Amino acid sequence: MQFDATKFASAAFKRREEDVPVKDLAAWFKGTKEGEVPVWRVRGLTGEELARVNEAQARNRNKSAIIEALSSDKQEKMTDAIKELIGTGDSVPDDLARRIEMLTIGSVAPECTHHVAVKLAEAFPVEFYELTTKITQLTGLGSEPGKPKRSSNAQTSS
């Protein structure tokens, strides 16, 4: 079997999306009726976005190193405060920094800022990990081939 590069290059692709139930976050979804389970829509990432997610680990380490270099031993409390302020304290493992970036990029509805992703990881870690795991799964499945355009019902002239 031979790969048809021309057909592949001309194909339209759409990133996969999926709704993830987030029952425990119902209080923060406007208009949620009692018994209704809200959903958080996420999508798979592109290659460029996945690279940015992977670079989040390096950025996490680099920020810590810069702060350490700028601070003296006498100013340890200030160093710790600065680290926590920018979200790179010792309490931020590389995997968490990576997943925070992933959620900010891969959230469709609601959109997710860095601040919200950090807060979600702190307050609802199970939901946070479910969302980022789903983004990872969708990314691994790749994009879906687009559907061909439908022909119109208009008749051609004679």
CA distances from residue 77 to 91, 120, 157 in whole angstroms, order as listed: 15, 26, 80
Q: What is the DSSP string of 12-26?
A: -EE--EEEEE-GGGG
Mean pLDDT of 3-13: 89
Specify the pTM.
0.72
For the stretch 80-138, pLDDT in tens is 666 555 554 555 777 898 899 999 999 999 999 999 999 999 999 999 999 999 999 99
pLDDT at residue 152 is higher than 70: no
Q: State both tokens at 9.
A: 């290059």
- 18-61: pLDDT as tens digits: 999 999 999 899 887 787 899 999 999 999 999 998 887 777 66
Closest Cα partner for 117 from 91, 87, 90? 87
Residue 11 has pLDDT above 70, yes or no: yes
Q: Provide the angle, in degrees to the nearest 10, between the axes of the packed helices 94-106 and 125-141.
A: 70
- Listed by start position, the domains of the chain span 13-26+37-141
- The answer to whether 128 touches 99, Cβ cutoff 8 Å, is yes
Neighbours of 13 (CB within 10 A): 12
Architecture of domain 13-26+37-141: 2-Layer Sandwich (3.30)
R_g of the chain computed on alpha carbons: 22
**pLDDT band at 75; cut points 50, 70, 90:** low
Which one has a higher pLDDT value, 60 or 16? 16
Residue 144, helix vs strand vs coil: strand
